[in-house]
Amino acid sequence: MLIQTQDKLVSDFHEHLKVILLGTGTPRAFSGRAKSGIVVLVGSKAFLIDCGGATVDQLIKAGVMPQRISDVLFTHHHSDHNSGFFDVFISSWRTHVIPDRVFEGRSVPMNVYGPTTTKEIIGKMRDSFDFDANLRVNYNLSANEGAKINYFENNEGVVYESDGIKITAFEVDHRPVYPALAYKVEYNGKSVVISGDTVPVANMIKYSQGADLLIHESYNKKWLDELIARFPEQAQSLSNPAKYHSTTLQVAEIARRAGVPHLVLTHHIPAPAATEEAEAAYTAGMSDIYPNKITMGRDLMEFVL
């Protein structure tokens, strides 16, 4: 039978905490850098943290079928963090059949977590594809409950706790986007902190203490300054990241003060080529501040804790 099968499937149960970077890019489109998204696999659950464009494609490349996603957590509502939601919502709801396996679609409401702007923004997205959702229910006979969304808005505190999994949200500073969050995921004695987009904040150090992995956004100030000098007519747009993001050296200081053993950079501004030479240039000076392991995040990188 000449029907495409799934070449790579991640186990349905995870004894360890597994983190996969789906997208390490930014609003600007770069080859090989999908928009922001991370999937965290713990126990039998798969939690999606942010879902920029191409998230479903990246999930499949990572071996995680979208039908496993019933929980989406948003750090904030820039387009590169939420524009893939429509595809995630529909793809997780639809049953997928291949010659050797059936992937049952989501038959329960999507659980959506995020800051206190989430229901207003994602609710409007959901309303905009009501025509499609009604067809799925009435023509394709998709589960009616799967067309719904449960919203959980909380800027600070535990947002999920069940089966040994604990997820805590805490505020960061990405103004003019307000509120904006980061998340700490804990399971089986291990933990990861995912920064979202932010300038340096004390909360990041507070919640990262004792964590096994810190995944933090960053920009390279030297590279941006060079681009501004080369293209002065673009100075305003190129200098904006300095207003609401963290430099590589600032992130190194955060990781040092938190005492985390492993730092992963993501949301790279500007995006370096995926070569050791380019990535070394991007992280120049960080090791002088932070002595532990630094990894330049690439799309589909996996970390098992």
Q: What is the pLDDT along the chain (305 residues), one digit of tens a residue?
A: 566 667 677 877 888 999 999 999 998 888 889 999 999 999 999 999 999 999 999 999 999 999 999 999 999 999 999 999 999 999 999 888 878 888 888 999 999 999 999 999 999 999 999 998 888 888 887 888 989 999 999 999 999 999 999 999 999 999 999 999 999 999 999 999 999 999 999 999 999 999 999 999 999 999 999 999 999 899 888 888 889 999 999 999 999 999 999 999 999 999 999 999 999 999 999 999 999 999 999 999 999 99
Which value, to the nearest 10 degrees, does the dihedral of the CA atoms of residues 95, 96, 97, 98 take?
-170
What is the CATH code of the structural domain delimited by 14-304?
3.60.15.10
Whether the link from the prior residue into 115 is cis, omega within 30° of 0, is: no
In this structure, which amino acid lies at residue 193?
V
| Cα–Cα distances in angstroms (integers) from residue 271 to residues 11, 57, 216, 267, 283, in the given order | 31, 20, 14, 8, 12
Nearest CA-CA partner of 221 in 304, 298, 285: 285
Residues paired with 193 in a beta bridge: 184, 214
Q: Please state the pTM of the whole predicted model.
A: 0.95
Cβ distance 174 to 198 under 8 Å?
A: yes
In angstroms, the CA 289 to CA 250 distance is 9
Which value, to the nearest 10 degrees, does the dihedral of the CA atoms of residues 180, 207, 301, 59 take?
-50
In this structure, which amino acid lies at residue 23?
G
